[in-house]
Amino acid sequence: MTQLFVYGTLLRGLSRAQMLRGSRFLGPALILGQLFDLGSYPGLLAGQGLVVGEIHLVDSSTLQRIDRVEDFDARDPEGSLYRRKAVPARRFSGRGETVETYFYNHPSDAGVLIPHGDYRRYLIERRPGAQPTVAYGSNLSLARIEARIGPVGRRHPGLIEGFRLSLDKRAAIRRNVVANIRYTGADDCPGALHDLSLEQLQAMDRYEGTPNHYLRIVLPFRPNGRSGIRLAHTWIAHPDRVTAGLPVRAEYLSHLRSGYAQFGWPEAPITRALEALQQGNP
């Protein structure tokens, strides 16, 4: 079995995701590099930027099929379109991994740089109109989010599947923690889908301290009462900002509980996050 890091059309919700259907999804992660738009797919080159992707545990037959799709031939690496290499990856929890991924083999032909390194986000931001965006922390409170970025219109509740609400993101100013999500594969984090303007998204980036505190990435979201998933922006703590042993402020917790009450949700996810915080294992 191989831990494969994917960053393009193999990502969940994109055109070739079905090729990984029989594999085990291990969660989102980051690697160092530079991501480029090559037209109908992206290409990865070596670099010091952050590239957002997913780790999947794949068997040898799946890996061989993907090698063919990526035009990688281990017997002729120079003549391949991509080269598969082992690289270090970092989970959003901060844990390090070694993964395999595909590097574009023709750097002189690289297209447009994707500066934030998230291909799904790049695709969504190019669409005209509203940007689907999910809140799961204090911005679930309508008063809180509208004080920050103005009217947000109708909100749709749903789930960030496989993720758990956690209180482990070190706050920007005070020595306390605020909300984050962690991939567990066994939990679903409640969230609310908003349709925001690009200007509102960028304003929220400033409040969330993107990219040094939170990274804005795109994840699948399942709205309640609707079939299928939506790809939507959300904010997840930069691994350098994940911590343990710090308290949560009562004011922040009040915003979070207010948001849950507005949607009529039980507070079980908040209670679990608080229990984990008290045990020093968010």
Tokens 């710090």 identify what position? 246
Residue type at position 152 = V
Q: What does R_g of the chain's alpha carbons equal in angstroms?
A: 19
For residues 50 and 30, the answer to whether their CB atoms sit within 8 Å is yes
Which residues have CB under 8 Å from 76's CB, separation 6+?
none
Q: How far apart are CA 116 and CA 205, in angstroms?
A: 13
Known active-site residue 251: no
Catalytic residue among 54, 70, 100, 208: 70
Tokens encoding 121: 């986000």
DSSP for 51-100 reads EEEEEEEE-HHHHHHHHHHTT--TT-GGG-SEEEEEEEEEETTS-EEEEE
In a 10 Å sphere around its CB, with 0-12 CB exposed, 13-18 middle and 19+ buried, how is residue 274 labelled? middle
**Distance of alpha carbon 194 from alpha carbon 155, whole angstroms:** 5
Q: Are 274 and 203 in contact (CB under 8 A)?
A: no
Half-sphere exposure of residue 150: CA atoms within 13 angstroms, side-chain side:
9
Residues involved in catalysis: 70
